[in-house]
Amino acid sequence: MTNLWAFLFVLGVLVFVHELGHFLLARWNGVRVLTFSLGFGPKLLKVVRGGTEYCISAIPLGGYVKMAGETPDDPRQGAPDEFLSKTKWQRFQILIAGPLMNLLLAVGLMTFVIWNGATEPAYEQRTPVVGRVLPGSPAEKAGIRAGDVILAFADKDVTTWQGLQMRVVPRANREVPIVISRDGQRQQLTVVPEAQTKYEIGDLGISPSVHPEVVQVQPGSAAEAAGLKPKDVIVSFNGTDTTGFTLQQMIGEISKRAGQPVTLGVVRDGARIEVSATPRDQGGVGRLGINLSPFETVTTQPGFVQAIGLSLKQNWEWTAMIGEMLAGLFTAETSPKQLMGPLGIAEVAGGAASIGWAALFGTMAMVSLNLGLLNLMPIPILDGGHITILAIEGLARRDFSMRVKERMLMAGFAVLMLLMVTVIYNDLSRVEWLSRLLRRS
């Protein structure tokens, strides 16, 4: 149920904002709006105000704003308040308002999330130096070793771990060139990222040099008695370097030493210190009384103006990633299985909601950005397609015939239906029992 309510909330807000953009600019330019609907199909609730019917419809997978004289097929009287009676510039404003509202919402949501404080992995903005290579991983097969510095991936330079991850994610099961620096020597290798999870996320099987970090120290615990503090980074355990230690490894080392003193090498405020602690015996299991993160984190608390700048930067990085993924669909670099539809969005939204409001709003920002950019694509039937037709007509200084426009719209409808079938198939194939049924058929 969490997935369902999170999905309805996210999609409801995004559709409302999108259609509100069209509605406001239509009214601003003097166009008569007949219907403002959230959802498609039969109308469940409706009310008429100022000549506009506001309604909630049965199928919650979108919405629409119906304007007077919107298409050549509509009954028209040539009245000045009809959509096609307006200039191309006015129609352009109305058409682009919906996608722009989604883009602005994405920036606004991320601004709010960042402004309220953001905790991120510290390694994401560091140079991608390989700290660990998993046995049997694509990286090991390609000859990548711990200590290598990754300079470029898929023919583009990368300077941070975050930048590298954004380039690896869409390229599962694809042979990709990778450039590394080893002992000061530049080398070019070839790697095939492995598909991970049901969304086929590309993965190299490498990780940065990270150490566990203390997130919380429980009052009255052995850790508090030993002097451990939140934000302490544990760099060694009984003399063993903890680089690449998983949480399971760290917890396991502590658990098997109930009542035995251990020595932790800790970095605090840039200085290394040694801390001696004795895990308390709780049913034969050692417990220090700490909560750990698998990596060091950085917490930022920017001002509002700075948060806007960081939000713009994040949305621009997302836009670049979305653009690469869409381009990759045409060049076969990106698997169509990475596309997700309503069920996929519901699962992601539900997972984010279970984490907290910040994760939910961050997810909503990403989906809003996707929705805005998708609607700006020059595909007839989408807002971007109508804008493209307007632009071509403006350059040609004549309008297309009704027959040509109908063919364009039918082609756009076919493309959109192909996309819908793909994402719905992907969603269904990720449901375990349906996946087995589809494979049998």
Task: Provide the 8-state DSSP code for 296.
Answer: -
Place of tokens 């971007």: 384
Q: Could you give the angle at the alpha carbon of 307 between the alpha carbons of 306 and 312, nearest 5°? A: 100
Distances (CA, A) of 3 to 337, 342, 352: 21, 11, 9
Element (H, E) at 422: helix 402-429
Specify which residues 18 forms β-bridges with: none
Sequence-distant (≥ 6) Cβ neighbours of residue 436 within 8 angstroms: none
Sequence-distant (≥ 6) Cβ neighbours of residue 92 within 8 angstroms: 387, 390
120 is catalytic: no
Which segments of 197-345 are extended strands (E)? 201-203, 206-208, 213-217, 233-237, 240-241, 262-268, 271-277, 280-282, 285-287, 290-293, 297-300
Long-range CB contacts (< 8 A, 24+ apart) of 34-40?
34/66, 34/67, 34/68, 35/64, 35/65, 35/66, 36/65, 36/66, 37/63, 37/64, 37/65, 37/66, 38/12, 38/63, 39/15, 39/63, 40/64
Q: Which residue, 286, 280, 277, 205, is CA-closest to 234?
A: 277
- Phi, psi of 206, deg, nearest 5: -125, 160
The two three-digit tokens of residue 238, written as one number: 């009984």
Place of tokens 């309220």: 116
Please say whether the beta carbons of 4 and 22 come within 8 A: no
* Catalytically active residues, by annotation: 19
